[in-house]
Amino acid sequence: MTLRILLAAPIALTISAAPAAATGQACRLPARVEPAPARPTPAHEVSRTRADHYQLALSWSPEWCRGRSDRLQCQDNSFGFIVHGLWPSASRGPNPRFCAPAPPLDAATVRKRLCMTPSPTLMQHQWAAHGACGWRSPDAYFDQTAALWSRLRTPSLTTPTMTAGQIRQAFVAANPGIPRAALQVRVAAGNRLKEVGICYDLKYRPVACPRGIGTPDAVTVRITPRRP
């Protein structure tokens, strides 16, 4: 299935990743995309520990947009799950972060993956904080992220509440190769669904999350609805 891209002005554009192929959502991009500037990294955030697994973090966009007015993510589009980032992770102790210098992303890289992670600022942060801990270039990092994302079928969450276990089961039903223990459900204040993390081993095979599944199965989670 091909992702349908809507442009605010006629611009030739091809996006190889299919972040909305699993959800049926269209993606409207602005005519002009401005990369975010690189920011200095506080020394206390640098951690060059060894990764022993990865986590693909998927944000529930309606919850992030609740009370925010970001045009790309919250006004021009109505996303369900979007990619927060691909994180090299450690089973114990601090995770790798800000391992190497990370110059600003170029506009072509941002535009190519903006329907997957609809924020130039978030993309720059993910490359600096996580991508530089395992990949030699931004394109290599975002290509690997997109490869995992394009293989997923994200469930459509349309009820006002679900248990964390039901959210996990919805992912498993849509993706039979992913075990329940590989799904870490995270909630915001008020037990609102914030994010689902999917754990992979170093060969990108789904694996039980070494730090647990997050919100227990029996907990009732509130689901912020997608905008019509």
Is residue 83 assigned to a domain? yes
Q: What is the pLDDT of residue 18?
A: 33
> CA 86, 3, 119: angle at the middle one, nearest 5?
45
What is the average pLDDT across 86-108?
97
Condensed to tens digits (0 to 9), the pLDDT of residues 21-40 reads 444 468 999 999 999 999 99
Domain range for 53 is 5-35+47-222
For residue 7, pLDDT over 60 is answered with no
Is residue 209 assigned to a domain? yes
Tell how far CA 54 is from the center of its chain.
Answer: 13
Dihedral angle of Cα 170, 214, 228, 76, to the nearest 10 degrees: -120
Determine the Cα–Cα distance for residues 51 and 135; give it in Å rounded to an integer: 12
* pLDDT tier for residue 10 given thresholds of 50, 70 and 90: very low
Q: What is the pLDDT of residue 58?
A: 98
Is residue 61 assigned to a domain? yes
* pLDDT tier for residue 227 given thresholds of 50, 70 and 90: confident
Is residue 113 assigned to a domain? yes
Is residue 86 assigned to a domain? yes
Point out the least confidently predicted range of 11-15, 81-85, 155-159. Answer: 11-15
CA atoms within 13 A on the CB side of 180: 11
Tell how far CA 18 is from the center of its chain.
Answer: 13
Q: What is the pLDDT of residue 121?
A: 97
Determine the Cα–Cα distance for residues 146 and 151; give it in Å rounded to an integer: 9
Provide, rounded to the nearest whole percent, the portion of the chain with pLDDT above 70: 89
Is residue 154 assigned to a domain? yes
Tally the domains of the chain: 1
Q: What is the pTM of this model?
A: 0.89
Condensed to tens digits (0 to 9), the pLDDT of residues 43-89 reads 999 999 999 999 999 999 999 999 898 999 999 999 999 999 999 99
Q: What is the pLDDT of residue 228?
A: 83
Provide, rounded to the nearest whole percent, the portion of the chain with pLDDT above 90: 86
Instruction: State the CATH number of the domain containing residue 31.
Output: 3.90.730.10
Is residue 114 assigned to a domain? yes
Is residue 60 assigned to a domain? yes
Tell how far CA 103 is from the center of its chain.
Answer: 21
CA atoms within 13 A on the CB side of 119: 20
Q: What is the pLDDT of residue 26?
A: 85
